[in-house]
Structure 1
Amino acid sequence: MSQTHNMVDYDKTYAEFKWEVPEYYNFARDVLDKWAEDPEKLAIWWVDDNDHEVKKTFAELCQRSRQLCNVLAGQGVKQGDVVVVIMPRLIEWWEINIACLRMGAVISPGTTQLTPKDLKYRFDSAEAVCIITDTDSAPKVDEVRSDCPTVKSFILVGDKREGWTNYEDAVSSASDQFETVNTHSNDNAILYFTSGTTGYPKMTVHTHTSYPIGHMVTGKYWLDLGPDDLHWNLSDTGWAKAAWSSLFGPWSCGAALFVHHTYRFDVQKTLTNLEKYPVTTMCGPPTAYRMFVLEDLSKYSFKSLRHVVAAGEPLNPEIIETWEEHTGLKIRDGYGQTESVCMVGSFPCLEVRAGSMGKPSPGFVVEVIGDDGNIVPRGKEGDIAVKVKPVRPVGLFKEYWKNPDKTASSYRDDWYITGDRAIKDEDGYLWFVGRADDVILASGYRIGPFEVESALIEHPAVAESAVVSSPDEVRGEVVKAFIILAPGYNASDDLVKELQDYVKKVTAPYKYPRKIEFVDSLPKTISGKIRRIELREREWVAFKK
């Protein structure tokens, strides 16, 4: 299956690109209602683990969103108020997003794995007035609701529960007449809680124009979508990647979403769905692809699939090679943050350089800079930075809400500092090195964990690995690898030695892991990124005792 790519000449597109940002903009009115003018145009193709299917058109979702606007308004939710949404991949999640955008309420999504304590922190910090959740999470809310004075509205998707408004009853009986709020370009639209390396999560705010319009770059150029595509994003609804790939990116291009509602990632079920349904494009975390290539991919045929991307952390070259060998498709990397849209990508017209995240997105000047704020020479490591003066790119967050110091500390001269480190090569490709705080310093060497993880995963015994610094009396710190073994391999001292020798061969010998621990699982964020900080802290806490 082929289509003319949206970007055929990177240099030309990048040079000619111009942002167009109106003073007033509302994604529900200006994009979704336009697609809804065709009553048949598909927006969502939803399936669950039992192969139960539901299809929703843009027209249906837009009508339901107007009904929900009236329900929320009736419960006292006003423009600018924060609505917390904790929901698995249920169709209501999309209705709620559209409704909040339409009425100018600020949506704050969260993962279903949040604890009652997490929820209280979010309600209080954001001064949330409304919580919309499902049957599984409602009891957690009830545990803390008496201590959360700002929350006045409790809406439940699913069962009936005392003290909660039933979503379906309320929405289906509400009027579908609602005039979309004419939101200003600088009005707050989305509030994410993003975990840093220290302290509680920060509140990252995006506006009504910057984020939805910025994601046109994500959808059009990186995801390479058009109105005839069916796009599948494997990510959970609780984090920013859902906005990238399950909302603004695809829908700004008129693509339909394929949604698999499941509570656990099942590799074989995912591959079966990819074969069974006419999915044309897919976005997944690197962890998913690592699991895919452990399966016998020759058993599957993905007839409709034409384009796949990964984001969250760099992908190892051998994963890209194995996937391409069986599917004929290259996995294209993309880079951005909760604070941004897709800022760097391996766009369809670019050569894939395995391990590189590609080149800056149209509309973004992304460089590698030093502590002095100057661009470092090509091939030298530094901070990934985005030029914000004289022109701030569309798609970058407005601020860390209620935290002006943290907001201010994210800038150095004319640059926004991402907190990630990279190298830019002679051809302008960016190569991720690691978080500024993940780099391991051993015997005077700087070692990026990703390099060691990349080496390890080439060994057939390794399904997944995470590399962190571990305390050492002599060297200060050394490289330690936590390894999940591939099926058919067992932990042993001999295997430890074999893996160490292997890394010495594959990469610079000083990078080899002096310590190896075999584990059954690795701590991860909801987006599938390995939480190296958690592993690192375990190592150092034990040492300090």
Structure 2
Amino acid sequence: MLGQRSASPEHTCVKSKTLDPMVIFFTSGTTGFPKMAKHSHGLALQPSFPGSRKLRSLKTSDVSWCLSDSGWIVATIWTLVEPWTAGCTVFIHHLPQFDTKVIIQTLLKYPINHFWGVSSIYRMILQQDFTSIRFPALEHCYTGGEVVLPKDQEEWKRRTGLLLYENYGQSETGLICATYWGMKIKPGFMGKATPPYDVQVIDDKGSILPPNTEGNIGIRIKPVRPVSLFMCYEGDPEKTAKVECGDFYNTGDRGKMDEEGYICFLGRSDDIINASGYRIGPAEVESALVEHPAVAESAVVGSPDPIRGEVVKAFIVLTPQFLSHDKDQLTKELQQHVKSVTAPYKYPRKVEFVSELPKTITGKIERKELRKKETGQM
């Protein structure tokens, strides 16, 4: 047995401290060039935090599949650190490219009971031609990295009988917010802060904002910095200092918190559209668009406008049954739909129908590529 073997004479163990550097993750680069987020060994303690244990509660009998590229922090935590700590089985599938049908067949064939994927993966599964499907072993479905649309949450429950548990984090933080088992799921909200993180919505000076007020999602770092929070951006002290905002680390994400502590993600700060003085988060417009049966996927960005500064532009992937519809008429219909479910000033004044949206390896929409297209940088 492995435990009875002697250590290799060439191997020398090095004693490390909690705050010694351990790993560097590249950020996903959805809004700009990737940054190198350096973490200490404290990141490996995250599975022992109450929030992490409460979210998954892995057992030795569990089989976990995390559909994330191995270079991202979510794969390190969900495929290595947490299963290793729990002693459960990790499922690996060497997909040469993303294939929805292969994912469905894999979940049907193997005893996977814990599954993680970005929300667009669940959305693409739902676009397959089935009215209901029951995965024999699957019990727990998790998602993060993108906003979960209420429509997708409802459809996933209706067709599979399973709930989608949303979680939120970054390359810099690991898991900081989640909806736990047994916790009320609020459509449009990611859940609550996970201990030991103190997550608040703050203004640009680091002051905590009242409930239901839009601001920056921040993590308290003073007087004590969470041990699992990244140490710095390697080789870039200016960017490291820039994200410190009073007593908080500013995640660069916009959101709001309700009276119960549930956090709603509104978009990256870089994604916020400033149209005639109105600040518009793309997530709300995208959510409204996908409620329409013609829309399979959508991405919303700001498009330069000589009068308003920016206007809302929507890139839309149509569902198969609407591909032959008149595009001008469909544009008007979608614009009116957004006006009716959000606010009149948020509707997309520009609409472009595309066959697919640019995405990262993990399936997150790369709005920066669409913005570049709009500003003539491509």
What's 1:515 paired with?
Answer: 350
- Deviation of residue 451 (structure 1)? 0.4
Counterparts of 1:523 and 1:176 in 2: how far apart (Å)?
49
Q: Deviations over 1:313-345 (max 9, x none)?
A: 110000000000122211111111001110000
Which residue type is aligned with residue 335 of structure 1? Answer: Y
Which residue type is aligned with residue 277 of structure 2? Answer: G
Counterparts of 2:128 and 2:28 in 1: how far apart (Å)?
32
Counterparts of 2:28 and 2:132 in 1: how far apart (Å)?
39
Aligned equivalent of 1:476, options 301, 306, 309: 309
Change (3 A) 1:177 1:337: same
- Deviation of residue 186 (structure 1)? 2.1
Q: Equivalent residue of 1:214, what SS?
A: helix
Counterparts of 2:105 and 2:131 in 1: how far apart (Å)?
12
- Deviation of residue 248 (structure 1)? 1.2
What's 1:239 paired with?
Answer: 72
Counterparts of 1:226 and 1:361 in 2: how far apart (Å)?
20
Contact 2:31 2:271 in 1 (8 A): no
> Identity, % of aligned pairs?
47
Counterparts of 1:331 and 1:195 in 2: how far apart (Å)?
23
Counterparts of 1:192 and 1:240 in 2: how far apart (Å)?
7
Higher RCO (CA < 8 A, seq sep 6+)? 2
Counterparts of 2:57 and 2:361 in 1: how far apart (Å)?
25
Q: Equivalent residue of 1:505, what SS?
A: helix
Q: Deviations over 1:130-187 (max 9, x none)?
A: xxxxxxxxxxxxxxxxxxxxxxxxxxxxxxxxxxxxxxxxxxxxx5873533222222
Counterparts of 1:485 and 1:397 in 2: how far apart (Å)?
40
What's 2:299 paired with?
Answer: 466
Alignment partner of 1:316 is 2:153: no
- Deviation of residue 253 (structure 1)? 1.9
Contact 1:219 1:252 in 2 (8 A): no
What's 2:43 paired with?
Answer: 211
What's 1:430 paired with?
Answer: 263
Counterparts of 1:176 and 1:326 in 2: how far apart (Å)?
56
Unaligned segments of structure 2, at least 5 residues: none
What is the correspondence of 1:28-39 to structure 2 with a 5 Å cutoff? none
Question: What is the number of equivalent residue pairs in this alignment?
Answer: 374
Alignment partner of 1:261 is 2:94: yes
- Deviation of residue 375 (structure 1)? 0.5
- Deviation of residue 199 (structure 1)? 6.3
What is the correspondence of 1:328-367 to structure 2 with a 5 Å cutoff? 328-367=161-200
Which residue type is aligned with residue 204 of structure 1? Answer: A
Q: Deviations over 1:62-98 (max 9, x none)?
A: 99xx8xxxxxxxxxxxxxxxxxxxxxxxxxxxxxxxx
What is the correspondence of 1:23-102 to structure 2 with a 5 Å cutoff? none
- Deviation of residue 198 (structure 1)? 7.2
Contact 2:52 2:194 in 1 (8 A): no
Which residue type is aligned with residue 478 of structure 1? Answer: V
Counterparts of 1:265 and 1:216 in 2: how far apart (Å)?
32
Q: Equivalent residue of 2:92, what SS?
A: strand
Q: Equivalent residue of 2:187, what SS?
A: coil
What's 1:18 paired with?
Answer: none
What's 1:528 paired with?
Answer: 363
Counterparts of 2:57 and 2:188 in 1: how far apart (Å)?
20
- Deviation of residue 509 (structure 1)? 2.1
- Deviation of residue 297 (structure 1)? 4.1
- Deviation of residue 192 (structure 1)? 1.6
- Deviation of residue 282 (structure 1)? 0.7
Counterparts of 2:48 and 2:321 in 1: how far apart (Å)?
45
- Deviation of residue 462 (structure 1)? 1.0
Aligned equivalent of 2:332, options 482, 494, 497: 497
What's 2:225 paired with?
Answer: 392
Q: Deviations over 1:357-406 (max 9, x none)?
A: 10000211000011232100101011111011122213211111121121
Counterparts of 1:417 and 1:248 in 2: how far apart (Å)?
26
Change (3 A) 1:199 1:355: closer
What's 2:234 paired with?
Answer: 401
Counterparts of 2:137 and 2:37 in 1: how far apart (Å)?
37
Counterparts of 1:409 and 1:518 in 2: how far apart (Å)?
37
Counterparts of 2:291 and 2:368 in 1: how far apart (Å)?
24
Unaligned segments of structure 1, at least 5 residues: 1-38, 40-58, 67-174
Contact 1:456 1:462 in 2 (8 A): yes
Counterparts of 2:223 and 2:86 in 1: how far apart (Å)?
29
What is the correspondence of 1:84-163 to structure 2 with a 5 Å cutoff? none
Q: Equivalent residue of 2:334, what SS?
A: helix
- Deviation of residue 348 (structure 1)? 1.1
CA RMSD, Structure 1 to Structure 2 (Å): 2.2
Which residue type is aligned with residue 483 of structure 1? Answer: I
Q: Equivalent residue of 1:343, what SS?
A: strand
What's 1:540 paired with?
Answer: 375
Q: Equivalent residue of 1:385, what SS?
A: strand
- Deviation of residue 201 (structure 1)? 2.8
Counterparts of 1:216 and 1:279 in 2: how far apart (Å)?
23
Contact 1:223 1:309 in 2 (8 A): no
Which residue type is aligned with residue 303 of structure 1? Answer: P
What's 1:193 paired with?
Answer: 26
Contact 1:314 1:432 in 2 (8 A): yes
What's 1:106 paired with?
Answer: none
Larger radius of gyration: 1
TM-score by length of 2: 0.93
TM-score by length of 1: 0.65
